Amino acid sequence: MSILVNKNTRLLVQGITGNEGLFHTTQMVAYGTQVVGGITPGKGGEWVLEKIPVFDSVRSAKENTDANATIIFVPARFAPDAMFEAADAGIPLIICITEGVAISDMMRVRNYLDQKNVRLIGPNCPGLLTPGEAKVGIIPGNIAISGNVGVVSRSGTLTYEVLYAMKNLGMGASTCVGIGGDPVNGTNFVDVLEMFEDDPHTEKVIMIGEIGGNEEEKAAEFIRTKMTKPVASFIAGQTAPPGKRMGHAGAIIEGGEGSAADKIKTLEAAGVKVAKHPEEIPTLLN
């Protein structure tokens, strides 16, 4: 079992002929992911990696491949339209890797996708990895093994560090979900925690948060009131000064809210074990 992606995922790649799209498509195919088609307007009829057809639109790609997910590797100014197009084509799961998408554009996208009942992961995220089944995004496939620990994170780099630390301890992941660190995204901590709670194969959960916003506090309330599975966490940016942006657009402390100390206090009050350093996280679940 897993959440969101598995061996039955039939994936499209929007922007497949660009440098980033082609590089990561090669990696995903090598991992075993079913990449069934790509989209680059004006290049319909071409082929990528000798076996993946390229289409001019998401709609024609879906009609010809029966795809059930798409991943977006296009520049920020084109990403909103790419997400709108995928939703209009009836793709139920969209993963947007693109960073730098304007908040105003994401507000429009999120409102539209909610009306269409479409699940968006990202933008500005590393994507998804279900070890041994499917790699949809840029998470390195060789740093994780299959297991019963669900991982959800706002930080891409810390995700890799934690997955590798888990692997070194012989601890595997059911699915790893990188939700991205932008202020407006498609899927939040609570959404993923709810999926892990309902997944019979996921027995424990790791949540990697960071300063800024109040998503971790919302997650703590969900964990306290709804979750039966143990959760361990790490909050990045514990030494960040107020008003200092740390990497992600959403990782900024403003108005006295969003500090690491507050998030840690709230999570611990909900029964979550919080690590002082990322590499400690797996040991908290033993």
Q: What is the CATH number of the domain that holds 97?
A: 3.40.50.720
Among 92, 121, 150, identify where a domain stops. 121
Closest CA to 84 of 62, 109, 67, 116: 109
Say if residue 46's pLDDT is above 90.
yes
Same domain, 162 and 202: yes
- Work out the pLDDT band at 157, boundaries 50, 70, 90: confident
Does 161 map to a domain? yes
Does 5 map to a domain? no
Question: Average pLDDT in the 57-86 region?
Answer: 98
Same domain, 154 and 266: yes
Q: Which residue has the tokens 């996280």?
A: 281
Say if residue 77's pLDDT is above 90.
yes
Asked whether the CA dihedral 31, 35, 40, 45 is positive or negative, the reply is positive
What is the span of the domain harbouring residue 180? 139-284
Neighbours of 42 (CB within 10 A): 8
Q: State residue 54 phi and psi, 5-degree precision.
A: -105, 135
Same domain, 154 and 254: yes
Q: At residue 253, what is the residue type?
A: I
Same domain, 158 and 108: no
Model pLDDT, residue 122: 97
Dihedral (C-alpha) 136, 141, 143, 149: value to the nearest 10 degrees? 50
User: What's the number of domains the chain is made of?
Assistant: 2
CA distances from 106 to 78, 80, 85, 94 (A): 12, 7, 14, 14
Among 121, 154, 182, identify where a domain stops. 121
Model pLDDT, residue 177: 98
216: CB partners within 8 A, 6+ apart = 189, 207, 209, 233, 235, 263, 266, 267
Same domain, 89 and 192: no
Does 190 map to a domain? yes
pTM for this predicted structure: 0.93
Does 256 map to a domain? yes
Structure confidence by residue, pLDDT tens digits, 101-151: 999 999 999 999 999 999 999 999 999 999 999 999 999 999 999 999 999
Does 14 map to a domain? yes
Distance separating the N- and C-terminal Cα atoms of the chain = 21
Does 4 map to a domain? no
Neighbours of 219 (CB within 10 A): 27
Catalytic residue among 24, 201, 248, 277: 248
Structure confidence by residue, pLDDT tens digits, 168-178: 999 999 999 99
Model pLDDT, residue 2: 83
Same domain, 72 and 208: no
Give the side-chain half-sphere CA count within 13 A for 212.
Answer: 21
Neighbours of 285 (CB within 10 A): 18
Model pLDDT, residue 255: 47
Active site residue 201: no
CATH at 163: 3.40.50.261
Same domain, 111 and 147: no
Structure confidence by residue, pLDDT tens digits, 1-15: 589 999 999 999 999
Does 277 map to a domain? yes
Does 171 map to a domain? yes
Same domain, 258 and 161: yes
Which of residues 100 and 285 earns the better pLDDT score? 100
Same domain, 218 and 280: yes
Model pLDDT, residue 243: 57
Same domain, 217 and 100: no
Model pLDDT, residue 250: 52
Question: How remote is the C-alpha of 189 from its chain's centroid?
Answer: 10
Same domain, 171 and 221: yes
276: CB partners within 8 A, 6+ apart = none
Structure confidence by residue, pLDDT tens digits, 225-272: 999 999 999 998 776 666 555 555 454 545 445 788 999 999 999 999
